[in-house]
């Protein structure tokens, strides 16, 4: 949390002024019981209406000054809290963009969503309340006790007993509830994750008639969250009755002692009222302070969760990835020779998994070759090509691009060489033009149409009102699966990459369109190296080399006819699709 609070330095003025104005409000508030004492003892006691009106105007003046001070403090605290949380959200979002696939897999999308929204909102509320109450409440508590001593020392000794008792109750409850709020946030993560899974997978859920089961799972998760919140709520709810019992008991004692001392002439009625008012002020401020500390505890817990994401980000990974950064300006790619990608007995496993996703993969790919990668579901096809852009970390010298270890590249430099279309075609809200320009921000309309023609998507775009400026809904919902895939492929082709990776990106296309697409792509640039990942044998039959993967291992490498004779895995895939 301390690391996060460094960003609040840009709001130093607001951080100083907000508590300062709250302190001024508290000072004026402490004078109110004394004025009430004067009204009772002097004005009412002497039946002096003019004096009562004059003191009433003073009370109104103090109230107006307090209102101005409170509003000013609220303005500065809100400005600092909202500005700080805005900076934190931007920082968090920028950081998420730099995280590797390993980190995203480990943390989970639902957790990141919770930390970007709920957790940062809690931090914002904590900062806001802290600036307004952290100095004001203790000041009023001790100020009221001191003012009580100025009224009557003997009666004020009751305050010396009551304040520690109230503090024990308030802080005891606070210490009990602090760790429970972390469990509440964890349960909230589960509910958010379950909701996200159901929204993104709603078609699958309905296709398999799993609505009742998912509803039950969601009910269990929300029930767990409810139980945590109720448990914390019950403990927190004990605070008000306990504190009111203590304070009202103190007021009874105060009235009893005050009555005796009034009877013997040591106190006036106004003094007793003033002491009771100071007691009530202490009660209100201690409850405020307790709520503040609970909110601060929740904010600190949420801040630690956000900080864990920021600190566990790309810094360490980037250091590993760019360990040879000093040499990259002088190092040239001429040592690459004819091989653009080399896998040197590469093995890899996902974070948290004890089994390898890839084992002992040895493969050398020449510049300009088309490589087909085929295998069953879970054989490691996507994992293999995701290593090339550095989405997942590799061991030293196990993977080279243009003769250099991928970890020696700057991320931007490495990925500028590569165009990739993932299994799930992703389009972003905006226009077709804006989506295509992700591949090359300064591309002309001619370049965009050329890429669309190659990707067999030109007719799709021409059929839309506005063509390149046609609207794309979130996730491309106003396009079919095949249309989304073709536009996503066009986006990769716009940048004319040195290495093009098509990760099962034509699965929604018919065989004829798929064939036209592969033919058009192969004619683009003779030096462009193409990786085609597919479960269709027809999609890889014409490749220069076909890599057959089986349970993370290379079963065979060769041409179509060779593999039909010598590779049982490939022959089985082919037979199931063509016989």
pLDDT tens per residue across span 429-483: 888 888 888 878 888 888 888 888 888 888 888 888 888 888 888 878 888 888 8
Residue 267: CATH number of its domain = 1.20.1560.10
Residue 224 inside a domain? The answer is yes
Q: Is 87 exposed, middle or buried (0-12, 13-18, 19+ CB in 10 A)?
A: middle
- Regarding whether 295 and 162 lie in a shared domain, the answer is yes
For 258-293, how does the pLDDT look when each residue is reduced to its tens digit (9 = 90+)? 888 888 878 788 888 888 888 888 878 877 777 777
409 — pLDDT class (breaks 50, 70, 90) = confident
Helix (H, G, I), strand (E, B) or coil at 358: strand
For 99-154, how does the pLDDT look when each residue is reduced to its tens digit (9 = 90+)? 777 777 777 777 788 788 888 888 888 888 888 888 888 888 888 888 888 888 88
For residue 424, give its domain range: 420-496
Q: Convert 255-316 into a string of H (helix), E (strand) and C (coil).
A: HHHHHHHHHCCCCCHHHHHHHHHHHHHHHHHHHHHHHHHHHHHHHHHHHHHHHHHHHCCHHH
Q: Please answer whether residues 390 and 309 qualify as being in contact, where contact means their C-beta atoms are separated by less than 8 angstroms.
A: no
- Regarding whether 248 and 114 lie in a shared domain, the answer is yes
- 339: left (phi > 0), else alpha (psi -120 to 50), else beta? beta
Residue 446: CATH number of its domain = 3.40.50.300
- Regarding whether 296 and 445 lie in a shared domain, the answer is no
- Regarding whether 284 and 150 lie in a shared domain, the answer is yes
- Regarding whether 295 and 432 lie in a shared domain, the answer is no
Residue 172 inside a domain? The answer is yes
Residue 357 inside a domain? The answer is no
In the chain, the number of structural domains is: 2
- Regarding whether 231 and 110 lie in a shared domain, the answer is yes
pLDDT at 320 over 50: no
Write the CA distances from 477 to 7, 110, 430, integer angstroms: 39, 22, 12
For 170-229, how does the pLDDT look when each residue is reduced to its tens digit (9 = 90+)? 778 777 877 777 788 778 878 888 888 888 788 888 888 888 989 999 999 999 888 888
Boundary of a domain, candidates 312, 335, 362: 312
Boundary of a domain, candidates 496, 530, 552: 496
Handedness of CA 389, 391, 396, 399 (dihedral sign): negative
Residue 47 inside a domain? The answer is no
- Regarding whether 260 and 116 lie in a shared domain, the answer is yes
- Regarding whether 432 and 283 lie in a shared domain, the answer is no
pLDDT at 164 over 80: yes
Q: Please answer whether residues 39 and 56 qualify as being in contact, where contact means their C-beta atoms are separated by less than 8 angstroms.
A: yes
Q: Which long-range contacts (CB under 8 A, 24 or more apart) does 92-96 make?
A: 92/116, 92/120, 92/306, 92/309, 92/310, 95/309, 95/310, 95/313, 95/314, 96/309
From CA 427, how far away is CA 461, in angstroms rounded? 14
Instruction: Please tell me the predicted confidence (pLDDT) of residue 219.
Output: 92
Instruction: Please tell me the predicted confidence (pLDDT) of residue 64.
Output: 92
Higher pLDDT, 389 or 506: 389
Instruction: Please tell me the predicted confidence (pLDDT) of residue 72.
Output: 92
Residue 274 inside a domain? The answer is yes
Residue 300 inside a domain? The answer is yes
- Regarding whether 425 and 291 lie in a shared domain, the answer is no
- Regarding whether 114 and 238 lie in a shared domain, the answer is yes
Boundary of a domain, candidates 435, 463, 496: 496
Instruction: Please tell me the predicted confidence (pLDDT) of residue 332.
Output: 42
Residue 557 inside a domain? The answer is no
Q: At a CB cut-off of 8 Å and minimum separation 6, what does 249 contact?
A: none
Helix (H, G, I), strand (E, B) or coil at 244: helix
68 — pLDDT class (breaks 50, 70, 90) = very high
Q: Is 359 exposed, middle or buried (0-12, 13-18, 19+ CB in 10 A)?
A: middle
Alpha helices by DSSP H, 99-135: 101-107, 109-114, 120-133
- Regarding whether 144 and 287 lie in a shared domain, the answer is yes
Range with the poorest average pLDDT among 216-230, 325-339, 357-371: 325-339
330 — pLDDT class (breaks 50, 70, 90) = very low
Residue 378 inside a domain? The answer is no
Q: Convert 179-238 into a string of H (helix), E (strand) and C (coil).
A: HHHHHHHHHHHHHHHHHHHHHHCHHHHHHCCCHHHHHHHHHHHHHHHHHHHHHHHHHHHC
- Regarding whether 308 and 428 lie in a shared domain, the answer is no
Mean pLDDT over all residues of the chain? 82
């Amino acid at each position: 949390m301390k690391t996060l609070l460094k960003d609040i330095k840009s709001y130093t003025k607001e951080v100083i002024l907000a508590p300062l104005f709250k302190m001024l409000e508290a000072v004026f508030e402490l004078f109110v019981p004394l004025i009430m004492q004067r009204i009772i003892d002097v004005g009412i006691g002497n039946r002096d209406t003019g004096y009562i009106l004059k003191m009433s105007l003073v009370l109104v003046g103090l109230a107006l000054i307090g209102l101005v001070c409170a509003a000013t403090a609220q303005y500065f605290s809100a400005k600092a809290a909202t500005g700080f949380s805005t900076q934190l959200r931007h920082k968090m979002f920028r950081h998420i963009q730099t995280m590797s696939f390993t980190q995203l897999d480990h943390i989970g999308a639902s957790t990141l969503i919770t930390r970007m929204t709920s957790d940062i909102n809690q931090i914002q509320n904590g900062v806001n309340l802290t600036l307004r109450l952290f100095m004001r409440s203790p000041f009023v508590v001790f100020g009221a006790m001191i003012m009580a001593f100025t009224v009557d020392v003997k009666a004020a000794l009751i305050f010396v007993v009551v304040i520690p008792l109230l503090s024990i109750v308030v802080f005891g409850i606070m210490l009990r509830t602090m760790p429970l709020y972390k469990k509440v946030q964890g349960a909230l993560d589960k509910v958010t994750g379950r909701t996200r899974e159901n929204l993104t997978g709603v078609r699958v859920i309905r296709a398999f008639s799993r609505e009742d089961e998912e509803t039950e799972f969601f009910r269990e998760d929300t029930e767990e969250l409810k139980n945590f919140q109720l448990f914390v709520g019950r403990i927190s709810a004990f605070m008000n009755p306990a504190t009111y019992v203590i304070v009202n008991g103190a007021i009874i004692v105060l009235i009893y002692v005050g009555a005796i001392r009034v009877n013997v002439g040591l106190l006036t009625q106004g003094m007793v009222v003033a002491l009771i008012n100071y007691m009530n002020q202490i009660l209100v401020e201690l409850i405020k302070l307790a709520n503040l500390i609970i909110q601060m505890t929740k904010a600190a817990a949420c801040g630690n969760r956000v900080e864990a994401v920021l600190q566990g980000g790309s810094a360490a990974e980037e250091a590993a990835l760019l360990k040879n950064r000093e040499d990259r300006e002088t190092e040239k790619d001429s040592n690459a020779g004819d091989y653009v990608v080399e896998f040197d007995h590469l093995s890899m496993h996902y974070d948290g998994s004890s089994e390898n996703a890839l084992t002992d993969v040895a493969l050398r790919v020449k510049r300009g070759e088309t490589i087909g990668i085929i295998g069953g579901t879970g054989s490691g096809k996507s994992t293999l090509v995701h290593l090339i852009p550095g989405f997942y970390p590799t061991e030293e010298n196990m993977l080279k691009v243009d003769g250099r270890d991928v970890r020696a590249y700057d991320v931007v430099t490495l990925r500028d060489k590569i165009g990739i279309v993932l299994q799930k075609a992703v389009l972003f809200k905006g226009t077709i033009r804006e989506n295509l320009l992700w591949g090359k921000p300064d591309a002309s309309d001619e370049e965009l149409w050329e890429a669309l023609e190659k990707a067999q998507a030109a007719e799709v775009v021409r059929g839309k009102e506005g063509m390149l400026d046609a609207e794309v809904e979130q996730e491309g919902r106003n396009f079919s699966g095949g249309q989304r895939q073709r536009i996503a492929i066009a986006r990769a082709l716009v940048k004319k990459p040195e290495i093009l990776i098509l990760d099962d990106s034509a699965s929604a296309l018919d065989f004829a369109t798929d064939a036209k697409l592969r033919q058009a792509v192969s004619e683009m640039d003779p030096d462009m190296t193409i990786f085609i990942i597919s479960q269709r044998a027809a999609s890889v039959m014409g490749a220069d080399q076909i890599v057959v993967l089986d349970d993370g291992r290379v079963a065979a490498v060769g041409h179509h006819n060779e593999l039909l004779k010598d590779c049982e895995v490939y022959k089985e895939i082919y037979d199931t699709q063509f016989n």
